[in-house]
C-alpha cells in the first residue's frame, strides 16, 4: 500500500488548510501509511498531547496520520553548529527515510520544505509549479499547476494529480478535516466553562500574524457587549505575547469578555463548544471553520477568496478599498479599519439566527 508524506511544517492556519487533503487521502486509501513533517509546536493539530505517534494505527486521538515527524527549525538554526543539534537533525531525518515513502506532497512551497522532502527520501516529490519560493521547484519531480481559488482546493487538486497512480480510479474527495479528540483537553474545557459560569459563548481572536491584519481591540469589546445582550459571553483567545491586546478587549467589553489562555489541544476542545467565532485571517479562525463553527472573518490585506473560512457557515467582511498584499506592515490596513463594529455585530446576529434584529 502507498506510503505518502505530507510536508507542511507550519503555521497553524496553513496546516489546517492541508488537513482536509490528508483526511481525504485517509478516506480514499484507508490502508495507506500517511506521514506528516510538521513543526513540533503545531503537532497537537495532528495528535493529542502526550501521545506518541504509533505507526500503522489511527484513533480518535490521532485520527488521520500514522507517522508524525516533528522538527524544530527555529531551535535548530540557533544551535546548528552544536554537535547535539546536528545529531538531533540527522536522527529526525533518518526516521523519515526509514519509512521509505513513495510520495512527498510539499504544500508549503518553501526551499526548506523542499529540502526536507528531498532528504526524506520519497521516490516522487510533488509540488506546485509556482511555489511560494521559486527555488523549491527544483526539488520536485512532479511540478503541477494550481487548480481552484481557495488554498484548500489548490492543495486538494495537487494531491489528486500527484496520487493518480495509486488512487486506482477512485475519486479523492474533499473531506471535512478530522482533528484530534484529546480526553484531557476535553475535560479541561468543561471545567473551564464551569469555572467561568458561562453556558453559551463566542470566541474572538484580536491578534494576527502581523499588524496590518489586526482589527482594533476596542471594537472586539463592542462586539462582546452586543453578544451579551443575547446571553452569549465572549472568550478572548490570546497568546502569551498578546496579554495587553486581550486586556483591551476585556476592558472594552464591560465585563462580558474573559481572557483565554490555552494549549492548542485545549483551544480545539473549547472551540468545539463555541456558538460563533469572530476574528481575522489567523489560525484560530481556520480552526473554527474546520470544526464547522459559524465564523465572522475580518479581512484586510489578505483575500478571503483564497484564505477565507472554508466548509462552515460564515460571513467574510472586507472593505472594497482593501488591497491584497503579503507585505507584513505593522499598522492596521486602512480598509480593515473601515469595517465597523456594527457590521460585525450584524453578521454575527445573522449567523446566530437572529437576522439583523
Q: Which DSSP string corresponds to 308-333?
A: S--SS-EEEEE-TT--------SSPP
Residues 196 and 149 placed together within one structural domain of the fold: no
Which three cell numbers mark 307? 484564505
Task: Indicate the pLDDT class of residue 326, thresholds 50, 70 and 90.
Answer: confident
Please determine, for residue 176, whether its predicted confidence score (pLDDT) is greater than 60.
yes
The reported pLDDT for the residue numbered 357 is 35
Distance of CA 202 to the CA centre of its chain: 19
Helix, strand, coil % in the chain, rounded to nearest 5: 45, 15, 40
**For the chain, what percent of residues have pLDDT higher than 70?**
96
C-alpha span between 46 and 27 (Å, rounded): 16
In a domain, 176, yes or no: no
In a domain, 356, yes or no: no
In a domain, 13, yes or no: yes
Label residue 231 exposed, middle or buried (CB < 10 Å: 0-12, 13-18, 19+).
exposed
- Give 51-84 pLDDT, tens digit per residue: 555 666 889 999 999 999 999 988 887 776 677 7
In a domain, 178, yes or no: no
The reported pLDDT for the residue numbered 332 is 92
Please determine, for residue 50, whether its predicted confidence score (pLDDT) is greater than 80.
no
Final residue before a domain boundary, out of 142, 167, 192? 167
Residues 57 and 116 placed together within one structural domain of the fold: yes
* Among the listed residues 3, 212, 200, 231, the one whose alpha carbon sits nearest the alpha carbon of residue 99: 3
Residues 303 and 341 placed together within one structural domain of the fold: yes
Residues 275 and 345 placed together within one structural domain of the fold: yes
Residues 58 and 7 placed together within one structural domain of the fold: yes
Please determine, for residue 29, whether its predicted confidence score (pLDDT) is greater than 70.
yes
Please determine, for residue 188, whether its predicted confidence score (pLDDT) is greater than 70.
yes
Please determine, for residue 356, whether its predicted confidence score (pLDDT) is greater than 50.
no
CATH number of the structural domain spanning residue 10 = 3.40.50.2000
C-alpha span between 4 and 33 (Å, rounded): 6
C-alpha span between 246 and 238 (Å, rounded): 6
Residue with cell 540527522: 90
Residues 113 and 137 placed together within one structural domain of the fold: yes
Residues 208 and 162 placed together within one structural domain of the fold: no
**For the chain, what percent of residues have pLDDT higher than 90?**
83
Residues 188 and 140 placed together within one structural domain of the fold: no
The reported pLDDT for the residue numbered 87 is 83
Mean pLDDT on 193-219: 94
Task: Indicate the pLDDT class of residue 49, thresholds 50, 70 and 90.
Answer: confident
Final residue before a domain boundary, out of 167, 200, 220? 167
Task: Indicate the pLDDT class of residue 329, thresholds 50, 70 and 90.
Answer: confident
Please determine, for residue 15, whether its predicted confidence score (pLDDT) is greater than 50.
yes
Please determine, for residue 199, whether its predicted confidence score (pLDDT) is greater than 60.
yes
Residues 293 and 230 placed together within one structural domain of the fold: yes
Residues 21 and 106 placed together within one structural domain of the fold: yes
**Among 82-96, 115-129, 204-218, 341-355, which is the least confidently predicted range?**
82-96
Number of domains in the chain: 2
Q: Residue 317: give the domain boundaries.
A: 183-351
Distance of CA 256 to the CA centre of its chain: 27
**Among 52-66, 212-226, 306-320, which is the least confidently predicted range?**
52-66
Amino acid at each position: 500500500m502507498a506510503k505518502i508524506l505530507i510536508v507542511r511544517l507550519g503555521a497553524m492556519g496553513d496546516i489546517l488548510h492541508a488537513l482536509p487533503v490528508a483526511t481525504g487521502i485517509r478516506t480514499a486509501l484507508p490502508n495507506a501509511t500517511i506521514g506528516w513533517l510538521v513543526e513540533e509546536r503545531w503537532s497537537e493539530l495532528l495528535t493529542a498531547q502526550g501521545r506518541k505517534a504509533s505507526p500503522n494505527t489511527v484513533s480518535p486521538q490521532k485520527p488521520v496520520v500514522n507517522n508524525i515527524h516533528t522538527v524544530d527549525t527555529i531551535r535548530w538554526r540557533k544551535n546548528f553548529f552544536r554537535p547535539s543539534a546536528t545529531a538531533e537533525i540527522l536522527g529526525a531525518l533518518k526516521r523519515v527515510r526509514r519509512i521509505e515513502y513513495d510520495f512527498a506532497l510539499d504544500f508549503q512551497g518553501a526551499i526548506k520544505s523542499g529540502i526536507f522532502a528531498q532528504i526524506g527520501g520519497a521516490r516522487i516529490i510533488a509540488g506546485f509549479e509556482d511555489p511560494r519560493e521559486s527555488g523549491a521547484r527544483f526539488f520536485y519531480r512532479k511540478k503541477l499547476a494550481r487548480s481552484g481559488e481557495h488554498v484548500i482546493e489548490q492543495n486538494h487538486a495537487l494531491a489528486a494529480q500527484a496520487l493518480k497512480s495509486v488512487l486506482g480510479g477512485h475519486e479523492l474527495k474533499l473531506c471535512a478535516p478530522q482533528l484530534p479528540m484529546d480526553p484531557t483537553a476535553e475535560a479541561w474545557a468543561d471545567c473551564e466553562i464551569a469555572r467561568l459560569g458561562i453556558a453559551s459563548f463566542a470566541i474572538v481572536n484580536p491578534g494576527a500574524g502581523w499588524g496590518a491584519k489586526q482589527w482594533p481591540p476596542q471594537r472586539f469589546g463592542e462586539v462582546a457587549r452586543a453578544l451579551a445582550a443575547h446571553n452569549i459571553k465572549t472568550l478572548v483567545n490570546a497568546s502569551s505575547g498578546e496579554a495587553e491586546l486581550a486586556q483591551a478587549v476585556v476592558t472594552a467589553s464591560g465585563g462580558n469578555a474573559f481572557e483565554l489562555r490555552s494549549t492548542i489541544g485545549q483551544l480545539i476542545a473549547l472551540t468545539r463548544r463555541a456558538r460563533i467565532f469572530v476574528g481575522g485571517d489567523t489560525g484560530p479562525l481556520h480552526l473554527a471553520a474546520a470544526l464547522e463553527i459559524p465564523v465572522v472573518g475580518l479581512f484586510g490585506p489578505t483575500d478571503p477568496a483564497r484564505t477565507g473560512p472554508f466548509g462552515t457557515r460564515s460571513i467574510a467582511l472586507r472593505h472594497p478599498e482593501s488591497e491584497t498584499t503579503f507585505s507584513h506592515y505593522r499598522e492596521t490596513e486602512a480598509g480593515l479599519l473601515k469595517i465597523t463594529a456594527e457590521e460585525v455585530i450584524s453578521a454575527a446576529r445573522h449567523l446566530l439566527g437572529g437576522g439583523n434584529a
